[in-house]
Amino acid sequence: EPEVTQTPSHQVTQMGQEVILRCVPISNHLYFYWYRQILGQKVEFLVSFYNNEISEKSEIFDDQFSVERPDGSNFTLKIRSTKLEDSAMYFCASSDPAGGDYGYTFGSGTRLTVV
Amino acid sequence: AQSVSQHNHHVILSEAASLELGCNYSYGGTVNLFWYVQYPGQHLQLLLKYFSGDPLVKGIKGFEAEFIKSKFSFNLRKPSVQWSDTAEYFCAVRNRDDKIIFGKGTRLHILP
């Protein structure tokens, strides 16, 4: 079964540092998403991406965040200057061209710890 | 703004007990509905989904959910839970804009 792959699985970074979270969506999917889950809280939408541009973003997704699809396979989330409150599990997801019949497929997540 | 409400934040059951987790959503248009499960230390996995047709949806691991349009509800059920069902369960709705909105989750703990 196709999978969404995220790397690294766990990243520890110092406050103020930049981090890049990487995702490889399912190959024929065209819609890509980032969500995050702060420990003990609900899964929150960050951003959706289609046709090489952001299609929607939440209020959480401020200027500190950016997304990019640098080549045909990777989809990255960059956090420019990390804050303690950015510590969370970050999930990438992708969906098929028509929004399909499968919901989203989520990756296994990257646990980001900002110290 | 659309939202998803899960009524139970933490549920504790004994093995073989029946389970029902409530979910209500607020959105008047056509929606797709999902239940995701997150086992301890793992990622989100799709349990079941409703797009159209039979409002009683069967998913993996013996779970089912019923879409009741008049009540804006999509409750998750399982007749007999197992210890391995210990996990967090998220109800989610996707609207025409294709964005999935999650509920706050219900933490289910099954006593052996």
- Chain B CB contacts of A100 under 8 Å are none
Q: Inspect the interface and report whether the beta carbons of B94 and A99 lie closer than 8 Å.
A: yes
Which residues, other chains included, contact A107 with Cβ-Cβ below 8 Å and sequence gap of 6+? A3, A4, A5, A6, A23, A91, A92, A93, B43
Angle at A49 between CA A48 and CA A53, to 5 degrees: 135
Contact between B47 and B35 (Cβ < 8 Å) = yes
pLDDT class for B43, splitting at 50, 70, 90?
Answer: confident
Distance CA A78, CA A20 (A): 4
- Chain A CB contacts of B42 under 8 Å are 108
> Which residue type, as a one-letter code, is found at position A72?
G
Please report the number of interchain residue pairs, chain A to chain B, with beta-carbon separation below 8 angstroms.
Answer: 51
Residue of B nearest to A44 (CA): B102
- Tokens 């996990």 locate to B87
Question: Which segments in chain A show pLDDT lower than 50?
Answer: none
Please determine, for residue B27, whether its predicted confidence score (pLDDT) is greater than 80: no
pLDDT class for B3, splitting at 50, 70, 90?
Answer: confident
Contact between A32 and A99 (Cβ < 8 Å) = no
Q: Inspect the interface and report whether the beta carbons of A103 and B49 lie closer than 8 Å.
A: yes
- Tokens 């804050």 locate to A83
pLDDT class for B98, splitting at 50, 70, 90?
Answer: low
- Chain A CB contacts of B34 under 8 Å are 103
* Average pLDDT over chain B, rounded to an integer: 90
> Which residue type, as a one-letter code, is found at position A113?
T
Q: Inspect the interface and report whether the beta carbons of A45 and B103 lie closer than 8 Å.
A: no
Please determine, for residue B101, whether its predicted confidence score (pLDDT) is greater than 60: yes
Strand partners, B51: none
- Chain B CB contacts of A107 under 8 Å are 43
Q: Which two tokens stand for residue B48?
A: 């079941």
